Structure formats: structure tokens, C-alpha cells
Structure 1
Amino acid sequence: MKRFIKYTCVALVLSIVWAIVFINGLLNGWWHNPITKDKDTESFIAAVQQTTKKEFAGNFALAIMKDGVVEKEVFFSHDKPVDRNTIFQVSSLSKFITAVGVMKLVELGKIDLDTPVNQYLKRWQLPPSEFNNDLVTVRRLLSHTAGLTDGLGYNGFENKNSIQTLEASLTKAKDADKSSSGEVRVGIAPNTAWKYSGGGFTLLQLLVEERSGQSFNEFMTSNVFKPLNMQSSTYIVNDSLHSRLCGFYNADKTTAPQHYYTSLAATSLFTTLSDLETFFQIFLIGKNGEPIGRQQIKPETLKLLREGHWSEMGEAIYGLGTMLYLDIENGEDIFGHDGKSSNPAINTAIRINPVTGDGIIVLETGNPDLATRIASDWVFLKTGKVDTLLFSMLVGKSMKIALIGLVVILLVLIGVARWRKKRKLPKIIQ
């Protein structure tokens, strides 16, 4: 029995050591095979082009940013040609741009970040819950810490006439994922956990409309897109822009229809690579001396967007409408947002390094995760570290390695025990 206890203790200690090594390996990319091991832009672009040929992407546009300006652009399509002015629907990357619009409403004095959101709303109110709804604030909605448990995930509607009103969608979204209730309500105590909520941004959409007196798209156009010269960006595509809209694809390479959304703020932004390059640059001082925010958004507002508002395992993961991918230096993080839809397949990503002015923008249709993988590989090659989304992808892919390590530990200990028993050698484990 004593021998068994000793071997069990040794197995436990070795397993803990292996777990530490494994997690350290995940964080440093030991188990990751990037699309290229070369760090220069030309090699990276060549690897991207090879990857897009090997994997299906119905439409693809990429920009590499260097010192705040465009260094390289790449385009690919299976249908009509794609260029920097082709319009893509960007799924949840919409939240990043929406957050800037919400913060503009703060700058205009129409709302306060820490006032209970129900105080601003007349058309719809958060339903009663066992928790204090007054703790649901704009800040917490932007940072996904408001306690909402909707899990949305909007699929949209193939028929434009099926679109719900904002109020009806907030009560029960008809285009919710099957795994989601579709109901926007407080299900956990606010500010006690990070819970990604598409419904929270639909609630912010209603807030913008109520406090501005404009439709959401009108407010974003007049207060964000036009002032920042984002001429092809909109949450609702009109006839004048429709000819530049790229086609949609499913993951099985078949063509897909355009989907329409009530949840504009959360998932329905239509924009171009060119406009997102302009959006990227508002976070930086331009080479021509243009200030941060281009005198349209206050620099302190843009800084607040990327300040950590929730942390996991000691690492900040989310700001106000921004994903925080990797801490770098001077208290800054590589930040941005990704967008993903499975019906139709859309994947988009933007990464911004506010210290160097470098970054990457990827827009694509027809592949569920290609843009995220490419953007995360760019971060990995630039920093030698794994960003938040790449880490989550590697955890699933690397579990086989973790299990193999544990099995090896077990087999070695069993082998040592049998060898000692057979040979009756002196004790080697004290």
C-alpha cells in the first residue's frame, strides 16, 4: 500500500508539472504550426495566397498595415473580382464599430456609461429578474459583463419582410441559434462574469435610437461613417451600394442568399477593406500629423475602448466592444474584433497594435474560421506569442498531446514499478 501511495504521489506531481509545461507550450505556440515560419511580409502574403488556394474562400480581402498605413493588400474570389471597395458583411466585427458609435453618443452627452440602461428606454425594458436590473449599464453591455444570458448568435432572415421589430427581437428573437433562448434578460448577477451577448448590442441599438431620435443606421452614418470618411459603410445596404456587395457562400462551397437582420448593431455592418483601413487609422497618429480620432472622436474615448474591462486568468480579454488579444507593452494590448457566421459562412478579423501602428484586416466569405486563423498567425509571427482566439483554438487541437503526455507518465511509472518488483532492486523513489 505504501508503495502504491508513493507512486500515486509521483504520478500526481509529474502530471502537474506536465500540465504547467503543456499550458506554457500553448501560450508560446509550441504546439502551433503557423502558415509560415518567416516573419517578413512577402513570405506571409505568399503563405496566405497558398492557403486561400488550398482552402475554400468564396471572397477574400486582406490588408497588412505598417506604421499606420497600408503596406500590402491581397484579394481572391470565386465569382466576380474583389477589390478594396468591394462590400463585405462583417458579422460580429460590427460590434467594434458600433461601440465607437455608442461612445460618440456618450461624447454628445446623450448617455452616461454607468447609468442604468432601463432609465433611458421607453419602447422596451429589461424584464424583471431575480437580479438587480439597475446594475445593467452601458459600460457593462459594451463589455459583456451585464449578466445577460441570451447567447445570441443571430442567424438573420432570408426574407427581408420577416425582419422583426427591435422590441419583438429583444423579447424573443426568431432568428436565434437553436441552442439559445433568444430572450434578452438578466440571468446572472451583473459584473460577476463575462458572458458574450449579441442581445446586449441589440439593446444598445435601441438605446442609440431612443437617445438620438434617429434610426440606428442614420445615427451611425451621420456621426461615425461620414465624419471619418467611411463612404461605403452602412448597416443597411441600399440599391446604390448593392452592385458592390460580394456574393455569399456556405461552408460546403455552395452559394448562399443574403441574410437580413434586426440586430444591426451586433452583426449587420456592411463595409469595405478601404473603409476599415480608414477606421484602423483613427486609433493612431498619422504620418501626416493627423491626430488620433481625426478630430471626430476624442483620443481618450478611443483609449477607453481598449482598456481592459474584464480579465480571465489575470489577462484582460475585453474592453468596450473590443477584444483584447495579447498584452504587449506600456499597458497596451493588441486589440480589435472578429466576426463569425455559419449561415452563410462569414469570417472577419482586425488586429491593431497601438504601439507600433502595425496590424491586419481580413474579410472573407465561405470559410468559418480562415480570417481568424490568418490574423492570429500574423500576431504569432510578429510577437512569438499566441493571442486569445488562437489559444482557444489550440486548446481543442492540442488535447491529444496533453493526453499522450499523461499516458506516457503513467506507462513509465508502471514500467518502473514492474522493473523494480522483478529485479528487487533498491528503492529509487523515496
Structure 2
Amino acid sequence: MRNRSLLILAVLLAMALWAALVFAGARHGWWHADPGPRADVASFFSTSAAALDAAEQGAVAFVLIEKRKVFGEHYVSAGAPVTRDTLFQLASLSKWATALAVLKLAAEGRLDLDAPVSRYLTRWQLPETDDDAEGVTARRLLSHTAGLTDGLGYMGFEPGTPVQTLEASLTEAADPMPGADGQTRVGRAPGSAWNYSGGGYALLQLLIEEIAGEPFGDHIKRAVLDPLGMSRATFDLAQAERAGLAPCFDTDGAPCAYRRFAAPAAASLHASAADLVRFLEAQMEASRDPALPPDLAAAMSTPHASQFGLPIWGLGVMLYAEAPRSGYIIGHDGMNAPAVETTARLDPATGDGIIVLATGNPGLAASLGGEWVYWHAGRVDVRTLDGMLPLIGFALLAGWAVILVLAVLAFRRMRRAASPAIP
């Protein structure tokens, strides 16, 4: 009986060790191609630029930053030429700029990050549910831990289609991405878990407007964009088109039209590669925006949410992986219909980063961003890991099956050894 208990314990331990080994191996690149030596920056840049050229469709801006300076930039377009000053729609990467606007209100003493947001709202309130909306704070909205279960993702409104008011979109978005609930409401206890919420950033837009007493676009331009030197960046599509917007392409590389959004704070900042270089520079440890106190700047990249035991989100930024020197590689990805995809990722300690802005090239921005994280930090980023879950699951099951087969064989041997000999 004692031997059986020891065998069961050994099996459980072996299964746990195999699970830990699989997850650690996946994080450290078991199934990831070697991107080359970290010291060979020129090789990484040229290989990445060649991959963009090979796509032969859409429009792309790619910038590689090394030690706080632009190492190289590469621009591709199947339509009108794009340059470092051409504006791109940034999709959910816009949330990073919105987060800065929220944190600056906190720095000015106009917003308590840990107070119920209902305290500041007059135009709209979260509907009553079984969970207490008083736990919905700006800090939790920034980190997607406020208990909102809308799951948004916005598809946007095509030209000629009326755009909802912000309040109507919060009540029920008319343009939810497939699978989203669409209603901004508290569906689980605030602070209990991470759940991505575009509705949460729509609510932050309303919060900014209520506190600042002016339209969101006007306030964030004055408080965030202009001070960082992003003078042509705008949340207004018409202004972006006048300033010079990259051509829009769909998933097949055919020309299309950009869409407008009821909650631009969540989905539609328009900025150039040059703008985003300035944006990242302001968040490097050696040159941080002096308008943001050190404690709030540090809070942005402090873990506030986790999945599978890994830290994944700070205040307004994703935590892609542990950085080589200290802290985390931070940033944000974006994806808008029909085929807008963006990423900006930064190691604040070293001043290294990558920017990829694209239309008409599904998956390209996140893929190249993931390659950079692995090349820079030697770890597979959490977004790539999420896409690898089926492979990780298969490896787990295969290993566990082998362990169980060996356990059964060992159990049979134990039974034979324990059976009395037949005369």
C-alpha cells in the first residue's frame, strides 16, 4: 500500500515537473527559430526589412531603436509612398497614449486612481449588476482588471455610416468585434481577474472629458501629444487625412477606406513613425517625461495583472517579457478592421525598441514585434505564447501520457512482485 502511494506521488510530481519544463521551454524558445546573435543589430534589421519587402502588399513603416537612437527605418507601400512622417491609424496602440493622459490627470491631483470612477461621471454611469461598480477605478480600467466583461474590440463605422455617441457605445456598442458582448458593464468582481476591455478605455475617455471639461481629442493633444512633439498626431480621422495618411489596404492587399470610432481613445490615434519615436523616447528611463512623477512612471510598467502565472499588464501597457537588465519590455499592439495592425515595444532600461505600423499585412506587426522581443530578451513574448497554447497543450498531453504509461508498467511490476508464488 505504501509503495502504491509513493508511486502515485511520484507520478503527480513528474507530471508537475513536465508541465513546468514545457512552459519554461516554450518561454525560452524551444519551438522558436534562432533570430541570430543579439550583438548583430544590422543583421536583425536587414532580415526584418527583407521580410517586409517580401510581403509585396499593403503599407508598412518599420523603425528599430537601439540605445535611445534610431538604428534604421524602412518603409514599404503598394500605393502612395509612405515615409517617417506619414500618419498611420494605430488601433489599440492608441490606448497607450490615453493611459498617459489619465496618469497626467492623476499627477495634477485631479484624479484619484483608486477612487470609484462613478465619483467623476455625470453623463453616463455603469449599469447596476450583481457586482459592485464602486470597485471600478481608473487604475483597474487601465490594467483591464476592473471586472468589465464587454470583451470589446471595435469594428468601427464605415464612411457614410453614422457614428454612435460615446454614451450610446458604452451602453451597447453597435460595432463590436465578433465574440464581444458589447455592453460595458461589471460582470465579475473588480480586481479579481484580467479581462481585456475596450469598453473600459471608452469609459476612460468619458472620465477624461468629464474631469478636463473639454473634448477628449482637444485635451489629449494639449496634455500629451503636443508636449511630446507629436504635433501632427490626431485622434480625428479627417484631420489625419488632411495631414497625410497612409493608404488603407484590406487583408488581400486591395485598397479600402479607414473607419471611424465612437471611442477614439481606444482605437484611433493617427500618428507617424517619427511621432512614435518621440513617444517612446519620453518613456525611456534616461529621458522620461518630467510631467509624469517617477512613482507614476514606474507604476506603468509594474505588474497589475497576470495569466498562467506570468505578469502581462501594467497601467496602459502590456508586459511582453522580462527585460535583460531589469523590469519588463513594455508596449502595446493594435488591430483594426479591415487590416490595420500595429505594435510599439520598448525596453525602458536600455532604450531599445521597435515600431511596426501596417495596413494590408495581417499578422505582420505582431510577428515582427515578437521576433524582436525574442532577439532582444531571449524570451518568447506573452502574446506569442498565447498563440502557442495548442502546441503547448499537445506537448503537455504527450508527456503526461508517457508518464502514465510508465506508471502503469511500474504498478504491474509491483503487483507481480507482491503476489505469492504458486507452488
TM above 0.5, yes or no, is: yes
Alpha carbons of 1:19 and 1:308: their partners in 2 closer, same or farther (altered >3 Å)?
A: closer
1:192 maps to 192
Deviates more, 1:185-194 or 1:228-237: 228-237
Residues 141, 204 of structure 1: 8 Å contact kept: yes
| Structure 2 residue aligned with 1:381 | 375
Per-residue deviation, 1:241: 4.3
Instruction: Give the conservation status (yes or no) of the 8 Å contact 2:153–2:198.
Output: yes
User: How far is 1:404 from its partner?
Assistant: 4.7
Give the Cα–Cα distance (whole angstroms) in 2 for the partners of residues 254 and 163 of structure 1.
25
2:338 aligns with: 344
Correspondence list, 1:138-149, <5 A:
138-149=138-149
- Cα RMSD of the aligned pairs, angstroms, is 2.9
**Structure 2 vs 1, CA of residues 11 and 367 (structure 1 numbering), >3 Å: closer, same or farther?**
farther
Q: 2:421: which partner in 1?
A: none
Contact 1:309 1:319 survives alignment (8 Å): yes
CA distance in 2, matches of 1:163, 1:18: 51
Shift of 1:113: 0.7
Question: 2:358, 2:82 → 1: CA distance?
Answer: 10
Check if 1:37 corresponds to 2:36.
Answer: yes
Instruction: Report the Cα distance in structure 2 between the residues aligned to 1:186 and 1:57, rounded to whole angstroms.
Output: 42
Structure 2 vs 1, CA of residues 243 and 106 (structure 1 numbering), >3 Å: closer, same or farther? closer
For residues 171 and 361 of structure 1, what CA distance do their matches in structure 2 show?
34
CA distance change for structure 1 residues 251 and 44 in 2, over 3 Å: closer, same or farther? same
Aligned pair partner of 1:354 in 348, 351, 357: 348
Match of 2:66 in 1: 66
Letter in 2 for 1:265: A
Could you tell which deviates more after superposition, 214-223 or 327-336?
Answer: 327-336
TM-score of the superposed pair, with normalisation by structure 1: 0.88
Secondary structure at 1:238's aligned position in 2?
Answer: helix
The residue number in structure 1 matching 2:229 is 229
1:52 deviates by 2.2
1:238 aligns with 2:234: no
What per-residue deviation string (whole Å, max 9, x for no partner) do you get for residues 71-96 of structure 1?
A: 11111121111211111111111111
- Aligned amino acid, residue 166 of structure 1: L
Contact 2:312 2:319 in 1 (8 A): yes
Q: Measure how far apart 1:50 and its partner are.
A: 2.9
Q: 2:317 aligns with which of 315, 318, 322?
A: 322
Aligned twin of 1:260: 260
Pick closer, same or farther for the CA change 1:252–1:398 going to 2, 3 Å.
Answer: farther
* 2:299 match: secondary structure: helix
CA distance in 2, matches of 1:163, 1:152: 16
Structure 2 letter corresponding to 1:149: T
Alpha-carbon distance in 1 for matches of 2:398, 2:308: 25
| Gaps in structure 2 of 5+ consecutive residues | 419-423
The C-alpha deviation readout for 1:367-424, integer Å capped at 9, x for no partner, is 3321112112111112211221122122234444445545666777889999x9xxxx
Code of the residue aligned with 2:359 in structure 1: it is: T
Query: Does 2:130 correspond to 1:134?
Result: no
Q: 1:305 aligns with which of 300, 306, 328?
A: 300
For the residues of structure 2 that align with 1:82 and 1:203, how far apart are their CA atoms?
A: 34
Aligned residue pairs, count? 417
State the distance in 1 between where 2:259 and 2:357 align. Answer: 17
Query: Cα distance 1:61–1:196, how it changes in 2: closer, same or farther (>3 A)?
Result: same
Deviations 1:309-339 (CA, angstroms, capped at 9, x unpaired): 2233443221111111122367621111111
Contact 1:323 1:336 (C-alpha < 8 Å) held by counterparts: yes
Partner of 1:21: 21
Contact 2:329/2:348, CA 8 A, preserved across alignment: yes
Q: 1:230 to 1:10 in 2, by over 3 A?
A: same
- For the residue of structure 2 that corresponds to 1:164, the secondary structure is coil
1:111 Cα deviation after fit: 1.6
Q: What secondary structure is seen at the aligned counterpart in 1 of 2:98?
A: helix
Shift in alpha-carbon separation, 1:52–1:236, aligned structure 2, 3 A = same
C-alpha separation in 2, matches of 1:55 and 1:407: 41
CA contact (8 A) 2:164 2:262 kept: yes
8 Å contact 2:57–2:360 — kept in the other structure? yes
Sequence identity (%): 38
Moved more, 406-415 or 115-124: 406-415
Q: Are the equivalent residues in 2 in contact too, given 1:147–1:190 (CA < 8 A)?
A: yes
Report the CA distance shift for 1:400/1:311 in structure 2 as closer, same or farther (over 3 A): closer
2:163 corresponding residue in structure 1: 163
AA paired with 2:375? Answer: L
3-state SS of 2:92 partner: helix
Query: Residue 56 of structure 1: CA displacement?
Result: 5.7
Aligned to 1:88: 88
Amino acid at match of 2:334: G
CA contact (8 A) 2:4 2:411 kept: no
The answer (yes or no) to whether the contact 1:337–1:349 under 8 Å persists in 2 is yes
Check if 1:390 corresponds to 2:384.
yes
| SS of 2:343 mapped into structure 1 | strand
Q: Confirm or deny: 8 A CA contact 1:227 1:296 kept in the other structure.
A: no
Change beyond 3 A, Cα 1:78–1:302: same
Distance in 2 between the 1:240 and 1:390 partners? 31
> Which of the residues 364, 367, 370 maps onto 1:370?
364
Unaligned 5+ runs, structure 1: none
Alpha-carbon distance in 1 for matches of 2:8, 2:256: 56
C-alpha offsets along residues 29-67 of structure 1, whole Å, 9 cap, x if unaligned? 111125x33431221122212322444651111111112
Provide the C-alpha distance between the structure 1 equivalents of 2:182 and 2:193, rounded to a whole number of angstroms.
Answer: 20
Distance of 2:106 and 2:178 partners within structure 1: 35
